[in-house]
Amino acid sequence: MRTCRRRIVVLLPILALPWLLRAETLRVGAEGGWQRVKIQGLREITLQGGGADAPALSLPGRKPCLSTASPSNQNGSVIDILLLAESDGIENFSSLYRVEGEIAQRLSARGGASIRLESNGIKLFPTPEAMWAAGREWGDFTLDFWLNPTNLNDGELLLLWKSRTAHGESQRLSARVENRKLVWNFEGLFRHGADRSLMIQLRSRPLVPGEWRHHRIRYKRNDSKSGLSGASPGLLEYLIDNIPTDSVHTTPTGTESSEVFTPKIGSLSKRPLLLAPDFNGYINEFRFTSTFDTNPVPGNISNPDSVSFGAGYTDVIDSGYPGSEITALRADAPGKSRIRFFLHVVDNPDEARYVEFPSPDNPDWMEIRLERKEDTPLTLGGWRSWKVKHTISGRFFVVGYILEPDLGADISPSLFTLEIEYEPRLPLPGESGR
């Protein structure tokens, strides 16, 4: 008899557990993808490593997504130079160059600051892996940056680079102010064979002191993907605020031709690239990449009204039973991403069929606040979490979120992973099911 009683005492809790507690976790994002999420005003970006996608605000980030561990951005192109102005100085993102120079002044702008350099500017010394290293030959490239000139006096020098080929021929790239325009001279950089080179010039439209403008010079070497970009082989193009202002083909005639001259760095190149050696004004987000970049840029570096909000929500989660409870919500979002989270909980299946995008003034959505978690070996990154302090129950659950523009953030707001934990209120023995 005693043996029988012991068996009953041991087995009863085991039999009761499935009816009392059965927490379930739904995970969206990361490797599982975002097929179960609807988005509005957002774009999907590919995370580094190509393993997953994530919804991000339409504003392109100052930094490539996720990590500073690799110079590759989300499109697979290599970032050769990326200098960001921060409140505490210049951040040299790519680490392919040694940077020498000091900041003279700062101006509030996207990322918290822009830089005005000392009279000698800064020097960028390339490592052997850098595109400006001796003997390197380039494919496509894009140089872009934000510029806010102060005086626009003739002769001000924004950029200067000098080199020599193995045969002693000089090479030079300069960007100089002339008649309130920025004039770019490419001397001997575009070459064909050992002894032929081009002299090329591009001009901006007239600039205005005190106004931010985005400058982009991009080059298309071949036609392997010309159908996607619309560019023909050898196109060298100058754009300001996304608007083409000057262009030429790197051919002897300056027009389309089968004889394309391509950029090559001389093997005797030992001098650094000089940024703003004699320029009055502010610079931000100076970037050089090995791609013909067709991505749009923000409408204005210091105008938050040019950026819209984005929102999303999950498919309806059917717990299967009325009275089920949401117990936790966890999200992985990078850095300073500003995201507001919301819950929509109902028992009526008809109400669950008609869900609108979340908004703070919609009474169907309950806003919840997630707190950032301290980094541990298991939660390293941008994890934040929320645990209920009172019961939130229903059969159907929807999680919504709003990504807000933040021009001071290092990267565009984005969401990598979302985890929803809930406990189905399973029927007790003798109760009906669903």
Q: Residue 335 has what pLDDT?
A: 59
CATH for the 14-44+308-423 domain, from 1.10.10, 3.40.50, 2.60.40, 2.60.120:
2.60.120
Q: What is the 3-class SS of 208-253, one letter each residue?
A: CCCCCEEEEEEEECCCCCHHHHCCCCCEEEEEECCEEEEEEECCCC
Q: Residue 258 has what pLDDT?
A: 85
Decide if pLDDT at 294 tops 70. Answer: yes
DSSP, residue by residue, 314-367 = EPPEE-SSTTEEEEEEEEE--TT--EEEEEEEES-HHHHH--PPP-TT-TT-EE
Q: What are phi and psi of 45, to 5 degrees?
A: -115, 150
Decide if pLDDT at 311 tops 90. Answer: no
Q: Residue 16 has what pLDDT?
A: 40
Q: Which three-class secondary structure state does DSSP give residue 193?
A: coil
410-414 average pLDDT score: 58
Separation CA 212–CA 425 (nearest Å): 58
Question: CATH top-level class for 74-299?
Answer: mainly beta
Q: Residue 180 has what pLDDT?
A: 95
Q: Residue 131 has what pLDDT?
A: 94
260-271 average pLDDT score: 90
Q: Which of 116, 187, 211 is nearest to 156 (CA)?
A: 116
Q: Write down the residue that tokens 């390197």 correspond to.
A: 136
Decide if pLDDT at 401 tops 60. Answer: yes
Q: Which of 377, 305, 367, 301 is nearest to 339 (CA)?
A: 367
42-57 residue pLDDT tens: 666 554 444 456 665 5
Q: Residue 236 has what pLDDT?
A: 95
272-278 average pLDDT score: 93
198-220 average pLDDT score: 93
Where in the chain are the domains? 14-44+308-423, 74-299
Round the CA-based radius of gyration of the chain to a whole number and report it: 28
Q: Which of 138, 131, 191, 134 is nearest to 164 (CA)?
A: 134
Token output for 179: 């008649």
| Residue 6: other Cβ atoms inside 10 A | 10
408-425 average pLDDT score: 73
- Does 74-299 match 14-44+308-423 at the fold level? yes
Q: Looking at 99-108, 244-253, 380-389, which range is the least confident one?
A: 380-389
Q: Residue 121 has what pLDDT?
A: 87
